[in-house]
Structures are given as structure tokens and as C-alpha cells.
Amino acid sequence: MENGKWKIDNGKLTMENYIPNTFRMKVRARVIEEYHSVGELRSLLEKYRGERILAIGAGSNLLFQGDFDGVILHSAMRRARALDENGDEVLIEAQAGLVMDELIAQLCDMGLWGLENLSHIPGEVGASAVQNVGAYGVEAKDAIVRVHTMRVSDGQERIFENAECRYGYRDSIFKNELKGQYIVTSVVYRLWKTPHPQLDYGHLRAVTGGTPTPNEVRQAVMQIRRQKLPEVSEIGSAGSFFKNPIVPHEVYEAIAGQYNQVPHFEQDGGVKIPAAWLIEQCGWKGKRVGGAQVYEKQPLVIVNADNATPEDVKNLAQQVCDSVREKFGIHISPEVNYI
Ligand SMILES: Cc1cc2nc3c(=O)[nH]c(=O)nc-3n(C[C@H](O)[C@H](O)[C@H](O)COP(=O)(O)OP(=O)(O)OC[C@H]3O[C@@H](n4cnc5c(N)ncnc54)[C@H](O)[C@@H]3O)c2cc1C
């Protein structure tokens, strides 16, 4: 494949060396390469040793702050296969470049349970294991058994078992201690043949009824998401811009004393307050800075409303963050990766 002209988004070619990203920022990389095998990835790492390397998937969680003076690597390995079946469990290995939602659609068609709540999240398998994507009470880590990787510095392959990935809320070792050091090549998931519906979050139970199939849960998730979130094909964004903060009980109690019905969830020994609620209370819904806008239907999302620049998005995000801190004393941190 020619450098900088690789397929993504239903086969649509990107312009030369423009980096695909769902925020629709017009940014370029010095080099963009796509690889089709683990051997090819190793050769590319050898070729570009010492240069700045960034592995990307579909670019749906990235905010480039300008052109990237380095090498962007993307996996064109998109196969999935069943590895093993043991009683109720099925192990599936999916390669990093497979679109996560395509994998989930296939699994639901096979009647397998485990990832259906993550339907319609943009992005690819490799990134989902780095990000620990989550939605409607399920996170990728719940199904991940192990993650196959290659070390950037010397092309060594390494398998990380689930516990070694140190998964947390939209977090993993690949975003912290080992940031940028390993490229995910494939992910092994454990799925179930018998019903394992997770319907306690959002309106899922109401939409699906009593005993749904994985595909019915998938359809319900997609229906709910379409009402609230911008479609990547229609409007630029990177999904939730901020993480939901988890605060000590006393901080929550203080806020609950001042406001009626503060939405909240017990999590990790603290209280998770939706960042969308905090942002809305600060009056940001629909507000703009340059071409960037806080999304009307879901204030956790910043959208590219009108040819936004990276600066517009950054400034808007900073102002939102500052006002939430001033009003509530709570720091909300970005979920989006600034590059
Ligand atoms: C409209 C919209 C809705 C969204 N909804 C959700 C949601 O409900 N829940 C949720 O969790 N997320 C959501 N997201 C965020 C996004 O979909 C996820 O973060 C997704 O995992 C990003 O996948 P990607 O392939 O686009 O990764 P990219 O954005 O390309 O990369 C994300 C990170 O992963 C790294 N990376 C990518 N591929 C590899 C690899 N093979 N090896 C090592 N590192 C790699 C990148 O360097 C980067 O740090 C949403 C985004 C959008 C635009």
C-alpha cells in the first residue's frame, strides 16, 4: 500500500498524509504507513527506529494539536477467529485493525454474549483494549482475556494477560506506564453462549423487555446512542470529551445539599457524578468557541460545528473545565487523547 494513501471509513481513501480523525481536524503526518502482518509491523518499526511513532485506529479518540512530525502506523489486519470453546464459554481472537462494531455485530449474529452493550462505539479492536471502552455498564476489560502486542523499541512480541493490563475507567497500562511503548496486534475475548444480559444501565431494560437476544440488546443500545450522540458520518467529534469524575462522598453530599436530584453512581469507593450534568449546570450546553461547540443533546461531547481548529477545541475544553472547577470545585479531565 502506498505511503499515506490507505483505506479507512468504508473504503474511502484519505488525502495524502492527512491523518484520519473523527474530529475532522485537517492535520498531516510526515509519514503514514499501514501494515498487513505482524512481520510487516516489525519491519516498519525497524525502518523507523528512533523516530516518533504513533499507532492509531480510526482516530475517534484523538485531538491532534497540529501536524504530527513522525510516523503514524495503522493495522490493516482485520480478521477474527474462534480459538476455543469450553462449555458455556467461547474464546475469540480479533486482530487490532478490525472495526470493533463489526466484530460485535458478528458476535451478536452468532448469539454470543459479552460485548453487545458496546455496540456502535466507533473505533477498532486494538484501541478498544488500550482505552478500555465502556458503555451501559460494560467495559471491554470484562471480556478481554489477553492482549497480544509488539514492543515499539525492538519488535519483541509480548502477551499481556487481563490483570497485567491494569484496567480502570477508560484506562490501562498502555495509557500510563507503557504509553506509546507497545502496539496491540490482536485481542482475545471470552464470550458466553448462554444469556448474560447487562441491562441495569440507562434505559436498556425498558427498551429490551425481559429476555432479549444479544442482537436485541445491540439494537436497543444503538437506538439509545443515536438519540444522544453525534453520528461520526454527520458531525465531527471524539465522543465524550471528558471523563466522569469520581469524588469523595463529602463532596457529593455538599453538592446534593445545594441542588435537587444530582445524578450519581457509587463507584470505586467514591461517587461518580456525570460530567455532562456538571457542564450543563455551568450553562455550557450549545455554547461555542470558534468553530467548536458543546453538543446540544449531550454536553459531555464537544463537536466540530464549523471548521473548528484544534485551538478552538482546546480553548473550549479548557473554559468548560475551568468553570466546572470554579462552580463545583471538581476537576474534570479529558477522555480524549491530546497528541
Ligand atoms: C461519536 C463517538 C462516540 C463514542 N462513544 C464512546 C463510548 O460510548 N465509550 C467509549 O469508551 N468511547 C467512546 N468513544 C471514543 C472512541 O470510540 C474510543 O476511544 C475508541 O476505542 C477509539 O478507537 P480508535 O480505533 O478510533 O482509536 P484512536 O482514536 O485512533 O486511538 C485511541 C488511542 O489508542 C491508541 N491506539 C490505537 N490503536 C492502537 C494499537 N493498535 N496499539 C496501541 N495503541 C493503539 C492511540 O495511540 C490512542 O492513544 C466515542 C467516540 C465517538 C467519536
What is residue 260's predicted lDDT score, i.e. its pLDDT?
A: 85
* 239 Cα–ligand 1 center, Å: 9
- What residues of the chain score a pLDDT lower than 50? 1-7, 9, 11-14
Q: What is the pLDDT of residue 17?
A: 85
- Which CATH number does 80-228 carry? 3.30.465.10
Q: For residues 234, 235, 237 and 240, what is the CA-based torsion angle, rounded to 10 degrees?
A: -80
- If you measure from the C-alpha of residue 194 to the centroid of ligand 1, how many angstroms do you get, rounded to a whole number? 29
- CA distances for 324 relative to 148, 275, 280, angstroms: 39, 9, 10
| CATH 3.30.465.10 given to domain 236-338 | no
For 126-175, the DSSP string reads HHHHHHT-EETTEEGGGTEEEEEEEETTT--EEEEEGGGG--BTTB-GGG
Kindly report the CATH number that applies to the domain delimited by 7-75: 3.30.43.10
127 within ligand 1 shell (Cβ under 6 A) = yes
CB within 8 A of 257, min separation 6: which ones? none
Per-domain residue ranges for the chain? 7-75, 80-228, 236-338
Does the annotation mark 170 as catalytic? yes
- Sign of the Cα pseudo-torsion (218, 220, 225, 227, in order): positive
Report which residue type is found at 10. N
| pLDDT confidence of residue 54 | 97
- Round to whole Å and give the CA distance between 274 and 332: 10
Q: Which atom of ligand 1 is nearest to the CA of 230?
A: 1
Angle, in degrees to the nearest 10, between helices 214-228 and 100-109: 140
pTM of the predicted model over 0.85? yes
Mutation choice for ligand 1 from 101, 118, 130, CB with most ligand atoms inside 8 A: 130
Report the nearest-CA residue for atom 33 of ligand 1. 127
Angle at 276 between CA 273 and CA 278, to 5 degrees: 60
**Measured distance CA(79)–CA(194) in Å, rounded:** 24
Tell how far the Cα of 171 is from the centroid of ligand 1, in angstroms. Answer: 11
- Residues 177-188 have pLDDT tens digits of 999 999 999 999
pLDDT in tens, 296-309: 999 999 999 999 99
Q: Looking at residue 12, what is its pLDDT?
A: 47
SS percent in the chain: helix, strand, coil, step 5: 30, 30, 40
Q: Is there an atom of ligand 1 within 6 Å of 304 CB? A: no
